[in-house]
Chain A
Amino acid sequence: MTGAAVRSVLGRDLRLASRRPIDAFLPVVFFLVAGSLFPLGVGPEANVLRQIAPGVVWVCALLSAMMSLGSLYGGDYADGSLEQMLISAQPTLLIVCAKALAHWIMTGLPLILVAPLLGMLFDMHSDAIQTLVWSLLLGTPILSLVGGVGAALTLGLRNGAVLILLLVLPLCIPVLIFGAGAVANVDMGLSPSGHLSLLGALLLLTLLGAPVATSAALRISV
């Protein structure tokens, strides 16, 4: 019964996204457009681009993941389906996890798929691109999970969208440092495994803490 509920929350969120394809593609389009502005602004010097690439890609990923946080719980809150989910016998934790997973599939996964494209635009080496994909794979779920806490805390507030950014972005700084650091290490000929391990550890820590915090925040906000 519990598995069915998780599947139905996940399936519903994905189906909703498919009903509004333009909204669903917005974050990934933002990611590509914002990323491709840098070569135009900084100039076509390949060495410089290669050097700033990890940071730029990671910052763009971070911002694009923030874009859709407002609607993560906002829509369900407005139409009453959130309170229906909260009063159901399903554990709130599972619902929160299903929502975070749906958010990651809709925003994190597409970023990982198009990141190599952005990497090539910055003339990154193939092994650097590979590390970038690994770091995004470990890092973007953290963004969805931490973002959920911010989204739940700011439910129903008037300036919610701005507040989410102020709440969540500082918490995502370690992800940014280790994610971009892993790729930079590859460029310097060092092993990225230390940074990637730290990202993995962060992911485990967030998996343990963020859903609990999100459920508590939802109980307060609704």
Chain B
Amino acid sequence: MISSQHDGSLLRIKNLTGIRGTEKLFQGIHFDLQSGQAVWLRGANGSGKTTLLRMLTGISVPEVGEILWNGETLAKSEAFRRQLVYLGHSNGLKDDLTALESLQFLTTVHGRSSEAPALEEALQKMGVFHRRHLPVRMLSQGQRKRVALARLALETQPGVWVLDEPFDSLDDSGVAVVTQLLETHLGRGGRVILTSHIPFKIEGVDIRTLQLEKRRAP
């Protein structure tokens, strides 16, 4: 297969196997994620979606198979971590900090700009601007998710987004905003891999589906 992308970076997943304890969750996963591409990871509960996503962030290291970023092993690639955005099940917000402070901490740690006007604009886009000075523990589940997702609105580079159920606990308007953000990101050549139990559509993008089959125990 000849790669059509010469300028963009490449995330290559080779023969990946997910193991939890002694149970094999998935096996022989191969795919390339190129500029402007989106992959929708699907599968039943317990089929290893989150395990796979965590491997793609470099938090867990695969025992079998490898993940390469421009030919470099993921765990060793600082360049990969610099452009990665990962939103997991837990939002990464501190209960006792305000929404704005929490967001500011995350952007600083990830080396992004953390100027207050930009953060406020992102919170505005996510519709939680009026809540920005409230401690996170006083926000509803959906509002917390919106604060966490505000990081996506701050991104300007065509990096890799790894999103675990980004539409979870969002209402219709929230889903629309996130879809809009994904569309913008893919439009500028970004890459997205996400899980979602609700169907979604991104204008002008052909989303590839990757189905994780639940392997039966022998």
Interface residues of A (CB under 8 A from B): 1, 4-5, 8-9, 12, 15-16, 19-20, 75, 78-81, 83-90, 222
Contact = CB atoms under 8 A, between A and B. Distances in A.
Given A5-B108, A79-B92, A83-B86, 13 more contacts: A1-B111, A5-B109, A5-B111, A78-B90, A79-B93, A79-B95, A80-B89, A81-B92, A81-B94, A84-B106, A85-B109, A87-B58, A87-B81
Contacts of B106: 81, 84
A16 B111 contact: no
B59 A83 contact: yes
B214 interface: no
Given A87-B57, A90-B109, A16 B96 contact: yes
A9 to B, nearest CB: 7
Interface string B47-60: 00000000001110
A84 B92 contact: yes
Contacts of A90: 109, 111
Interface of B: 57-59, 78, 81-82, 84, 86, 88-97, 101, 104-106, 108-111, 135
A89 B97 contact: no
Closest 4 CB pairs of A and B: A80-B90, A19-B96, A80-B92, A8-B108
Contacts of B111: 1, 5, 88-90
A16 B94 CA distance: 8
A137 B64 CA distance: 48
Secondary structure at the A interface, as helix, strand, loop or mixed, is helix
Contacts of A75: 94
21 contacts: A1-B111, A4-B108, A5-B109, A12-B101, A12-B105, A15-B101, A20-B96, A75-B94, A79-B94, A80-B88, A80-B89, A80-B92, A80-B93, A81-B93, A83-B86, A83-B88, A84-B110, A88-B109, A88-B110, A88-B111, A222-B59
A90 B82 CA distance: 9
Contacts of B81: 87-89
B59 A86 contact: yes
Contacts of B101: 12, 15
A5 B106 CA distance: 10
Contacts of A89: 78, 81-82, 110-111
